[in-house]
A and B are shown apart, each in its own frame.
Chain A
Amino acid sequence: MPKFLKGAVAIATAVALSCATMANAQGVLRVGMTAADIPLTTGQTDQGGEGMRFMGYTVYDSLIEWDLSSADKPSVLIPGLATEWSVGEDELTWTFTLREGVTFHDGSPLTAEVIVWNFDKLLDDTAEQYDPRQSAQGKSRIPAVASYEAVDDLTLTITTKVPDATLPYQLAWILMSSKANWEAMDKDWEQVAMAPSGTGPWKLESVVPRERAELVPNAEYWDETRIPKLDKMVLIPLPEPNARAAALLSGQVDWIEAPAPDTIPAMTGNGFVISSNAYPHNWTWHLSRLEGSPWNDIRVRKAANMAIDRESMMPLLGGLMVPAKGFLPPSSQWFGTPTFDPSYDLDAAKALMTEAGFGPDNRLTVKALISPSGSGQMLPLPMNEYIQQSLAEVWIDVEFMVVEWNQMINLWRAGAADEAVDGAQSINFTYFIQDPFTGLIRHLDEGLIAPNGTNWGHYKDPEMQALFEGIKTTFDPVEQTAVLQKTHEKYVNEALFLFVTHDVAPRALSPKVEGFVQAQNWYQNFSSISMAE
């Protein structure tokens, strides 16, 4: 080849390479999280939904995952590390086919034996790799699992204790760490925490506890559509809302989670974008169903629900809420078609209260547990005061018992009959309602009456129990959806809770952030994001 031609080829190659680099080089996204620490990095994350969002579905995968590709429809389950699954005729044995060719960030292959190793990491306290910290996060997510076995490299079976059609939802919680990496790190999870290895679209490049974690793209990710466009994503714990807002406004981060409603005008006024969407979050009051509780009267429950003008609550939250029409958000695939509408109707509410024997001269007093702050609590004090004023209109006087959030969680676990709740007949709580268990079953299942579970109000109803059984034993997804809808209709028709609102997961973004699609889910896909010049 002539010299000039060689030179031309070299230049052309260099230009092409540099263009390719430029095409991939789509910036650094710096995220201000609400968490006070970097979520647990070894696999099963801590810090609730935020931990899974930023350190779970980024670095790791589960057998079955949530579809995070659309903002327009509720998320559904999709194949993850398993491409297909089915339950046997015994309705106990599930067979999973694993995705071929998947490797961990350290290059080791994903096999059924590694999946079994991961289950042992959580469930078998005699296993060498058993990790109490990951177990604390993961074990309670998969109550149905009795045993598991690797049939061959790409086939896995899981046997459940009883027939349980919600197993796929349970498995969406369980993230797979690399066995080879754990062995390379002297079988020490503390070392793994600093250099973990998953199969996810992002690799953890560095971590400074409590300060920052840096994630870079996994160019070999098995789903090409989810290979990150960014060069890097930096996660910064910023638990204080004002510090988060200032960091965004001063250009130190490009994205903050949960901006305080009163800072939103300053952000939008400075060109920042508020992204939000309906998602499975609930802000509600649980009601005691113990003997003697005034909430045992359906007329009182319905009246209380109809006394709240939810639309008028919206300005308080800068419009960032979905007024409740039931226990699940109206956009949920499991909402169904309840006949009771809890919308504001003061006259109807007063009529119900009168029928129940209450009036201006015979007021009802109830006690409610509330917290001044907490995870997913939005603005609990003004919101609860608004409810207090609303209920007073229908002759229900609410006396608050205010406790700090950590203690509130304990009181929620303790249940309405525990002496620690001091006779409170209601508790304001907020949580994840993304799957059949967290969304419906756990709140009213007889077997989960507190302190065995989170049926705070000690609710018991054979009809509801049969519906829960139906959810667990209906393996056809379409039929299961119908049972879930029927269950939710009962929730609403019998006004089993004080339905108030749903959060919309607000996050404030720099105008430079492009390509983000906010899924109707607690987790998000960061792979589509790029930063404008």
Chain B
Amino acid sequence: MLSYLIRRILLVLPVAFGVSVICFLLVQIAPGDPLTAIMPIDATAEEQAAMRAAYGLDKPLPVQYAIWIGNLFQGDMGKSIASGRPVAAEVFGAVKNSLLLAVSAAVIAFPIGIFLGFLAGYFRDTWIDRAVTALSITGVSVPNYWLGIVLVIIFSVNLGWLPSMGAGPGGSQSWAWDWAHMRHLLLPAVTLAVVPIGIVSRTVRALAGDILSQDFVDALYAKGMSRADVLRHVARNAAATALSVMGLQLGYLLGGSILIETVFNWPGSGFLLSNAIFQRDLPLLQGTILILALFFVAMNLIVDVVQAAIDPRIQRT
């Protein structure tokens, strides 16, 4: 297990390097100019050239990459061109907010998804199964930004129960686990939870249905085991695969909430990324994508390790 773990961690290094190259090149491909965000439109060609040189944007791409990666190894992610603030502070502050949102959505989505999936799997081909399937497909199919707008119209605009935007009365820096702040989290978290509810419930339904049709389940019943005990066995058998799906979903939740964060003006990594894209803020864009990609890689690693730990049948050599 230890050697497996070390090998997996070592494998992360080339993946991280590949990710860094792709991050760097992807943002260079897009047309546009980061100086647009920081210079008046009437800036002369000479002033633009001076600013381009000041930010090192006049150097060849391989040189720019070497400088960027070199600084990265020294813990310096550079400064945002648009805001002038350090990229690391910007990204980690935003990732913290996104993590809060993603974990809240996961806390809502995973138990509901598991429960609905088991229900549908256990009562396979009954009206319960069909109802859960319909719900799951709806959850996966409905564009979540649209759902977010609808929820805002209902709960914020019409009913006035919940706020429509922001991360609390004083902003995310003064976040606290009280109702004044948590009410800001509710609508975006619920909106974000809808897709993983659908995906997790579909996965668990398939797993539960499949396991329940296996011979060992009949054997368990034949031995006189109660329904609850049998279900516990089914749950353990389904756990490894379900966990890997949920791990990936958590990664998607963190990196994939760009639209939800925009709709709810939630100051997370998606919101940051969206603004960085529009402003062509290359250092911020590279930094955000890199951190999110590495988070995804880390999530995969954790899932692999936990999977192996909870299911001895999964042999890692």
Contact = CB atoms under 8 A, between A and B. Distances in A.
B275 A250 contact: no
B166 A252 contact: yes
B315 interface: no
Interface in B31-87: 31-33, 36-45, 47-48, 51, 54, 82-85
Nearest to A207: B171
B104 interface: no
A53 to B, nearest CB: 15
A243 B172 contact: no
Contacts of A242: 149, 263
Interface in A401-446: 403-407, 409-410, 412-413, 431, 437-438, 442
A236 B38 CA distance: 20
A49 to B, nearest CB: 11
A37 B275 contact: yes
A209 B83 contact: yes
Contact of A208 (B153, B160, B171): B171
Given A36-B278, A46-B38, A246-B157, A252 B45 contact: no
Given A140-B40, A208-B173, A406-B37, 5 more contacts: A140-B39, A209-B83, A210-B83, A247-B265, A252-B166
B133 interface: no
Contacts of A193: 84
Interface of B: 31-33, 36-45, 47-48, 51, 54, 82-85, 90, 149, 152-153, 156-157, 160, 163-167, 170-173, 262-265, 267, 271-272, 275, 278-280
A355 interface: no
Contacts of B271: 210
Contacts of A486: none
A251 B164 CA distance: 9
Contacts of B172: 208, 211
A6 B37 CA distance: 63
A188 to B, nearest CB: 12
B279 to A, nearest CB: 7
B29 to A, nearest CB: 12
A240 B265 contact: yes
A520 B1 CA distance: 72
Given A37-B83, A243-B262, A251-B160, A404 B32 contact: yes
Tell me whether chain B's interface is mostly helix, strand or loop, or mixed: loop
Interface in A376-404: 403-404
Nearest to A410: B33
Contacts of B54: 132
Contact of B164 (A239, A250, A412, A431): A250
B164 A407 contact: no
Contacts of A454: 41-42
A190 interface: yes
Contact of A133 (B38, B156, B164, B280): B38
Contacts of A239: 262, 275
A13 interface: no
B57 to A, nearest CB: 13
Interface string A479-518: 0000000000000000000000000000000000000000
Contact of B44 (A132, A133, A452): A452
Contact of A246 (B51, B85, B165, B272): B165
A438 B41 CA distance: 10
B33 A406 contact: yes
Contacts of A246: 149, 152-153, 156-157, 164-165
A338 to B, nearest CB: 25
Given A36-B278, A37-B82, A242-B149, A247 B32 contact: no
Interface residues of A, number: 50
A459 B170 CA distance: 52
A492 to B, nearest CB: 23
A403 B166 CA distance: 31
Contacts of A226: none
B31 A403 contact: yes
B230 to A, nearest CB: 48
Contacts of A410: 31-33, 36
16 contacts: A140-B39, A141-B42, A143-B44, A190-B84, A208-B170, A208-B173, A211-B267, A237-B265, A238-B165, A240-B263, A243-B262, A250-B152, A250-B160, A251-B160, A403-B31, A406-B278
Contacts of A211: 166-167, 171-173, 267
B248 to A, nearest CB: 28
A431 B41 contact: yes
Given A190-B84, A247-B164, A250-B152, A438 B42 contact: yes
Contact of A236 (B37, B149, B166): B166
A252 B84 contact: no
B164 A140 contact: no
B274 to A, nearest CB: 8
Nearest to A432: B41
Nearest to B90: A209
A99 interface: no
Nearest to B160: A250
Interface string A213-257: 000000000000000000000001111101100110111100000
Contacts of A40: 84
Nearest to A42: B84
A210 B284 CA distance: 14
Nearest to B149: A242
A453 interface: yes
Interface string A259-289: 0000000000000000000000000000000
Contacts of B45: 451-452
Interface string A82-113: 00000000000000000000000000000000
Closest 6 CB pairs of A and B: A250-B156, A406-B32, A211-B171, A208-B171, A246-B164, A36-B275
A140 B279 CA distance: 20
A137 interface: yes
A141 B265 contact: no
Contacts of B41: 409, 412-413, 431, 454
A532 interface: no
B49 to A, nearest CB: 10
A250 B161 CA distance: 9
B167 to A, nearest CB: 7
